[in-house]
Amino acid sequence: MRNTFVIAKRELGSYFGSPVAYVFLVIFLLLTGFFTFTAGQFFERGEASLGAFFGWHPWLYLVLVPAVGMRLWAEERRAGTLELLMTMPITPWQAIFGKFLASWLFIGIALALTFPVVVTANVLGSPDNGMIFAGYLGSLFLAGAYLSVTCMTSAMTRNQVVAFILSVVACLFLILAGFNPVTDLMVRWASPAFIDTVAAFSVVTHFDGFQKGVIDSRDLAYFLSVIGFSLFATSMALRNR
């Protein structure tokens, strides 16, 4: 794993070596604060919980996570450094997982910086901190799923904008598959078994359990499967390249 960590360290350093990372962190914190306290009506709810905080994450990550991951491989191909990277004494999987891990750690840092929301909830009341921990864990895996999809689309093109658009569309499908208005619409013509099957592919369906404080092995297996499949597709795209 040494090569993987070396690549991850290099990639993570490249994030903080430019002002883009700090701009992203500021935008992320401002948006989470707005959606939690204003749009989510945190104070009007009258309850010490972070439901208003976690409920917006699938939609917030829909734009922010692809913005982080769109450069992972598209920039390597555009700059012509992909061939150089692949001739180094590392395996493709070490490069893929190292880059993915660095971006995931960066998003994890952004998520950790939202701790004032947890402090606020504990000051104003007595929330279930176990539920909050489960919500943070689910949010991290949710971001990892989005990021792995973005990693896959970034490996398919050298244009970062195209990679961003493709990943947003793919992640939007993962949301809408279990979105209540969509499932309510399918009730008119589809069987309950078909609806449940489609909803099982949605990140919303599996993220809900974490929001309720339930860490289910099936939800973990879902997110790990999405990450594993997307990274495998990334390796196939790079091998074809």
pLDDT tens digits, one per residue of 108-138: 999 999 998 888 888 888 888 889 999 999 9
Residue 39 has pLDDT above 80, yes or no: no
Query: CA-based Rg of the chain, rounded to a whole angstrom?
Result: 19
pLDDT at position 225 is 94
What is the residue-averaged pLDDT of the chain? 85
d(CA 93, CA 135): 30
Q: How confident is the model at residue 158 (pLDDT cuts 50, 70, 90)?
A: confident
- Domain ranges, residue 55: 2-240
d(CA 93, CA 67): 23
Please provide residue 153's backbone torsions phi and psi, each rounded to the nearest 5 degrees: -70, -30
pLDDT over 70, % of the chain: 97
Instruction: Specify the number of domains making up the chain.
Output: 1
Maximum average pLDDT range among 194-198, 228-232, 236-240: 228-232
Q: Residue with structure tokens 């991951």?
A: 69
Neighbours of 74 (CB within 10 A): 24
10 vs 142: which has the higher pLDDT: 142
pLDDT at position 100 is 92
Mean pLDDT over residues 10-24, rounded?
Answer: 83
Nearest one of 99, 26, 38, 32 to 61, comparing CA atoms: 32
Q: How confident is the model at residue 87 (pLDDT cuts 50, 70, 90)?
A: confident
Query: 49-72: per-residue pLDDT in tens?
Result: 788 888 889 999 999 999 888 888
Maximum average pLDDT range among 83-92, 145-154, 194-203: 145-154
Structure tokens at 79: 């700059």
